[in-house]
Amino acid sequence: MTSGPLFHEQTARQRIAALADTGSFAELLPPPERLTSPYLVQLGIPVSFDDGLVIGRAKIGGKKVYLAAQVGQFVGGAVGEIHGAKLTGLFKAAARDRVPCVLIIESGGVRLHEGSAGEIAIAETMRAIFECRAKKVPTIAVIATDIGAYGGMGILSTCCDFRVMTEHGRLGISGPIVIEKWMGKKAYDSSNRALVWKTSGGKTKYLLGDADALVHDGADAVRDAVAKLLGKSSPVSLKGVKERQKELEKRLKRFGDTADPDAVWKGMGVRNIEAASLASGPEFAALAKRGK
Amino acid sequence: MKKPTSKKPSARAVLARLFGASAKGIAMEKSVLTGYATVGGAGVCVIGTCDGTYIDNAAALRLAAHVIDCVEHHPKTPIVMLVDSAGQEPNRVAEMLGLASYFGHLLSCLELARRKGHKLITVATGQAIGGAFICYGMFGDRIYALESASVGLMPIEAMSAVTKIPVPVLQKLSKTLPSLEFGAKPFALLGGVQEVWSAKDDVQAKLAKAIANSSTEDNRAELGKKRGGRKLALDVRKRVLASSLR
Amino acid sequence: MEKFAKAFPSKPLPSKTAKPWALAGVVGSGNLEVLLERGGRPSGTMECHVETSIPGYKASWLAALADFAHHYPAGGTKVTINDQGAPPVLVNLRLRQAYDHLTKGDK
């Protein structure tokens, strides 16, 4: 166990300060620039000086990175026009300068109050992420809170080379409340926390191979995992996508008719469900690896 | 969120309009389109959705498989992506199995195709909404829409239901903020659609021209600024790029 | 939304600060962000701009800001606040946090 504050309880700015080498973070378009949303103002909703996204240059373990964190408390970390343009710009800068880009995601997706502008911004950012990948510039998404990465941001996270998650992190597209409304409480009771967590939580994502690291809920552990991935990249290749196609086909065939998440855990080699549920992120990762 | 009941041309009619007789080479299975056709005498690969279907894990895999087939067996053949989907499937099992990753895989396949010289042209033919548009259509080199297509994040009524902002307030604001308006034309004002094709247009000729003029340079922010629908995005991006150099 | 601005007399800020600006808090339900900037302003006043989602509390805002300007040497600074219904005790805490960040750095 590492000491220090829990990563999921920190604010976006605290997370950045905790991941970056001391004093290395230089914010781009910082709060005094006052880039606030013209949409929210006209709707009578409070604005924020960073529009819910903190971006900048930093070093992690002595290595140059571009680093960003979404502010989940501000309109659910959702992506509006300015927020999205900052995101696109940062990944474009990363591709241009061949500097890895680390994004701490905490977002429900597109900011509905700004309509389609945020949706287009997410699509533009995806293009920029793949620009990085084509140049073998690592792109890393960190997902560590229950606001998680949902909607367009969930999809965007899967475009990055790597995803680092904690057991608190959740990754998906439609959130539990939306699905409950759609399918009924019988099919998905959004108040059943264990079920929600086993549907979209870090442990299940790690087991299935959609998260590349599952770490303790602390800045040190997240930073170590990110630092390990900074030297790696996974450019898109024909061989790679063919393997992934097979893997995803197999997953769907094995579990497509399975409503029970425990069956998925068992199918992926977890023998003692209760022990695995109680295990911390890294303990769980070790158990999963050994098939216990 | 009901599927619209208004009279729309059948999926086959839309395909015939776009690809003429060659549309017979496009298979339609559970509202997922895959196949090969011709545009202006040249072969194209076609992937897409119809009938406003919801895209699930299986649909994403079928689309991805066809893109891989095209890359392997039809080098540099342009890929035309048709979009008529109301969104991703809101389903717990789909989420548990990682629907986002299935979409990410489809996007990766399309990226591979782009890098290998395939042009990617999107035509929004029906509904092009939310996650269903993000997971392949919005990833095209150039994106077009039929005038009748429903393009955008969501209709104002749905936006109002979620944000609790009254419909009249959103409607009034949408007059000056086209981002809030729903439809192909406002989406084009934002730069999200290159051009809207009307009922009178010869869409086969338009599609041939679109393929010929395609570019892998993402021009949406420039268009959005030029057309006045998305005034800030390009400048904010440029400021990030300029300030990160210093 | 309610918006207002006022300058309050305050002793000059120390001539050396850790940074030119500091931010405390986040905009979220029951919370606020305070941006504190130095430079280019009369050294005997603290200039305040408030935007709040809860109208009708101007008097208590002005009292809280006047109190802060009285107790801390913040002359020559500009305070800008985005508020989403923070309780008064939190307003005070964020002002102090922003002031500490500005004068002493982030530690």
Q: Identity (one letter) of the amino acid at B102?
A: Y
Chain A residues near residue C53 by CB distance under 8 angstroms: 44-46
Distance from CA of C9 to the nearest CA of A (A): 23
Fold of A7-171+211-233: 2-enoyl-CoA Hydratase; Chain A, domain 1 (3.90.226)
Burial (0-12, 13-18, 19+ Cβ within 10 Å), A234: middle
CA distance B127 to A110: 18
Which residues, numbered 34 to 73 in chain B, qualify as contacts with chain A under a Cβ-Cβ cut-off of 8 Å? Answer: 57-58, 61, 64-65, 68, 71-72
Chain B residues near residue A39 by CB distance under 8 angstroms: 177, 179-180
CA distance A116 to A229: 33
Question: What's the confidence (pLDDT) of residue B9?
Answer: 83
Per-residue pLDDT tens over the stretch B86-133: 999 899 999 999 999 999 999 999 999 999 999 999 999 999 998 899
Residues in chain C: 107
Burial (0-12, 13-18, 19+ Cβ within 10 Å), B155: middle
Question: What's the confidence (pLDDT) of residue B8?
Answer: 75
Q: What is the mean pLDDT of chain A?
A: 95
Distance from CA of A51 to the nearest CA of C (A): 10
Chain A residues near residue B188 by CB distance under 8 angstroms: none
Q: Identity (one letter) of the amino acid at B210?
A: A
CA distance B135 to B53: 14
Question: Structural domain boundaries of chain C?
Answer: 2-11+22-104
Distance between start and end Cα atoms, chain C: 34
Residue of A43, A49, A82, A106 for testing the chain C interface, max C β-carbons within 10 Å: A49
Q: Taking the alpha carbons of A103, C93, C53, B176 in that order, is the dihedral positive or negative? A: negative
Q: Which of B174, B32, B33, B106 shows the shortest CA–CA distance to A173?
A: B106
Looking at residue B198, what DSSP letter applies? P
When pLDDT is averaged across residues B12-39 and rounded to a whole number, the result is 97
Please identify which residue in the block is written with the tokens 């959705």.
Answer: B49
Question: Structural domain boundaries of chain A?
Answer: 7-171+211-233
> What angle, rounded to 10 degrees, do the helices at B57-73 and A238-255 form?
150
Question: Token pair for residue A218?
Answer: 């602390």
Domains, chain B: 11-217 (3.90.226.10)
By C-alpha distance, the chain C residue nearest A77 is: C28
pLDDT at position A1 over 70: no
Chain A residues near residue B61 by CB distance under 8 angstroms: 245, 248-249, 252
What beta strand segments (E) does A124-194 contain?
Answer: 139-143, 162-166
CA distance A68 to A140: 11
Please identify which residue in the block is written with the tokens 């050994």.
Answer: A290
pLDDT band at residue A285, thresholds of 50, 70 and 90? confident
Task: Report the DSSP beta bridge partners of residue C32.
Answer: C83
When pLDDT is averaged across residues A141-156 and rounded to a whole number, the result is 98
Q: Which of A205, A202, A219, A172 shows the shortest CA–CA distance to A69?
A: A219
Q: Which of C15, B142, C53, B115 shows the shortest CA–CA distance to A240?
A: B115
State yes or no: chains B and A have 3 or more CB pairs below 8 A: yes
Quick one: which H or E segment has residue C46?
A: strand C45-52
Calculate the CA A66 to chain-centre distance.
16
* Collapsed DSSP state (helix, strand, coil) of residue A291: coil
The three-point CA angle C21-A47-B229 to 5° equals: 115
Quick one: which H or E segment has residue A19?
A: helix A12-19
CA distance B58 to B94: 9
Question: Token pair for residue A230?
Answer: 């900074």
Question: What's the confidence (pLDDT) of residue C88?
Answer: 92
CA distances from C7 to B201, C46, C70, C77 (A): 62, 5, 12, 10
Question: What's the confidence (pLDDT) of residue A3?
Answer: 61
Per-residue pLDDT tens over the stretch B174-190: 999 999 999 999 999 99
Contact check, Cβ <8 Å, B95/A179: yes
Chain A residues near residue C26 by CB distance under 8 angstroms: 11-12, 48, 71, 73-74
CA distances from B49 to A37, A51, B12, B59, B125 (A): 35, 35, 12, 9, 9
Q: What is the mean pLDDT of chain B?
A: 95
Q: Which of A36, A101, A102, A104 shows the shortest CA–CA distance to A75?
A: A36
pTM above 0.90, yes or no: yes
Please identify which residue in the block is written with the tokens 């717990």.
Answer: B92
Which of A116-125, A264-273, C25-34 shows the lowest per-residue confidence on average (mean pLDDT)?
A: A264-273
Per-residue pLDDT tens over the stretch A104-127: 999 999 999 999 999 999 999 999
When pLDDT is averaged across residues A159-183 and rounded to a whole number, the result is 95
When pLDDT is averaged across residues B156-178 and rounded to a whole number, the result is 94
Question: What's the confidence (pLDDT) of residue A6?
Answer: 95
Question: What's the confidence (pLDDT) of residue C107?
Answer: 53
CA distance B189 to A117: 10
Question: What's the confidence (pLDDT) of residue B228?
Answer: 97
- What is the value of ipTM here, to two decimals? 0.97
Question: What's the confidence (pLDDT) of residue A4?
Answer: 76
Residues in chain B: 246
Subunits in contact with chain C (3 or more CB pairs closer than 8 Å): A
Contact check, Cβ <8 Å, B103/A43: no
Q: Could you tell me what percent of chain B has a pLDDT over 90?
A: 93
CA distance B10 to B163: 34
CA distance A288 to B14: 49
Question: What's the confidence (pLDDT) of residue B2?
Answer: 46
Question: Token pair for residue B219?
Answer: 């021009």
